[in-house]
Structure 1
Amino acid sequence: MVTSAEWNGRYGYRGTTEMELHPGGAVRGRSNPDMIAAGAPEIGVDGEVVEVDPPHRLVQTFRMLMDPNTAAEGFTRLTYELKEGKDGVTSLTVTHELADAPNLGRLMSGEFEDMGAGGGWAWVLSDLKSLLETGSAFGD
């Protein structure tokens, strides 16, 4: 769901993310059409795959290109981990290391949701959960 552009464009900010799934591979998060119409760049996030162990773990760098302040903070580290529990339920843990990126940290915490910037990771992951459980994301 996270690595497939067919799926990852169906929840959250609705921009597809394309990944070359090997260490050193490019990560390109495309802005959705509404974001582009509002002046966002076509590529809103870029990065590089650091580690990939399908389907258990993906580590990548992440740089938000939507505004100069977040872009200037450089690359952060983003880790996705999937674990299947004893009950057959799979859990997803997302760790975004933001200590050196205070502007991005505020954005990803959902601080700017009221200004139309979305609700950060909590909102994205909640939307993914809704999509997986019901077949519909928030905006469907």
Structure 2
Amino acid sequence: MTTTTTQVHRIWIKATPERIWAAIADPEWNGRYGYSAVATYELEAGGRFRQYANDGMKAYATQHGFEMPEVIADGEVIEADPPRLLKQTWKLQMDPGTAAEAYSTLTYEITESKSQPGTCKLTVIHELPESPATFAMVAGSDEEGAGGGWAWVLSDLKSLVETGRGFNE
């Protein structure tokens, strides 16, 4: 029997569904927030998802004596309904512990607010079957220097979409 642990993250963004969708799926946008790793999608069932190491990641790996793969995360699109829904498989390939685990399922749902015109709810559902290392990474950590997981990524996405500037810009 497989154990699945699910993380659900919700944020509200003052933007159109189309603008939020672009921040997620368009490489001109998605490399500007979170960990600044550009992602590409083939937005059809069975299409490829790839996320690429940036120069800072490669330099960090070299400095610390390990090799950073070019593709740091990958998966397959299960369903794409722009600008409302993106469901895909997802695996973090940059860490040997997470690369050894099963692919997880990642769903982005964008819903317009009925009570707050011009605002959308972005819900990210991450289903992690038998993936304790990935679960810990995407959950984030308060430790200095550790990654902030989905909370960090989504907070930065919100900042970028609402202000035009991500945390590192």
| TM-score normalised by L of structure 1 | 0.94
Distance 1:77 1:117, change over 3 A: same
Matches within 5 A, 1:29-44: 29-39=51-61, 40-44=68-72
Distance in 2 (CA, whole Å) between partners of 1:139 and 1:41 is: 23
Please say if residues 102 and 129 of structure 2, whose CA atoms lie closer than 8 Å, have aligned partners that are also in contact. no
Q: Determine helix, strand or coil for the equivalent of 1:78.
A: strand
Indicate the percent of aligned positions where both proteins have the same amino acid: 51
Q: Which amino acid aligns with 1:27?
A: F
CA RMSD of aligned residues (A): 1.3
Deviations 1:24-71 (A, max 9, x none): 000000111111122321110000000111111000000100111100
Residue 61 of structure 1 corresponds to 89
- Runs of 4+ with >6 A deviation: none
Structure with bigger RCO (C-alpha 8 Å, 6+ apart): 2
Structure 1: segments with no counterpart, 5+ residues: none
Distance 1:112 1:65, change over 3 A: farther
- What is the CA-CA distance between 1:90 and the residue it aligns to? 1.0
Which of 2, 12, 16 is the aligned partner of 2:38? Answer: 16
Distance in 2 (CA, whole Å) between partners of 1:113 and 1:93 is: 25
Please say if residues 41 and 65 of structure 1, whose CA atoms lie closer than 8 Å, have aligned partners that are also in contact. yes
Distance in 1 (CA, whole Å) between partners of 2:103 and 2:25 is: 19
Distance in 1 (CA, whole Å) between partners of 2:130 and 2:79 is: 21
Residue 112 of structure 2 corresponds to 84
Distance in 1 (CA, whole Å) between partners of 2:161 and 2:78 is: 27
- What is the CA-CA distance between 1:118 and the residue it aligns to? 2.1
| TM-score normalised by L of structure 2 | 0.78
Matches within 5 A, 1:106-125: 106-111=136-141, 114=144, 116-125=145-154
Q: Which amino acid aligns with 1:103?
A: A
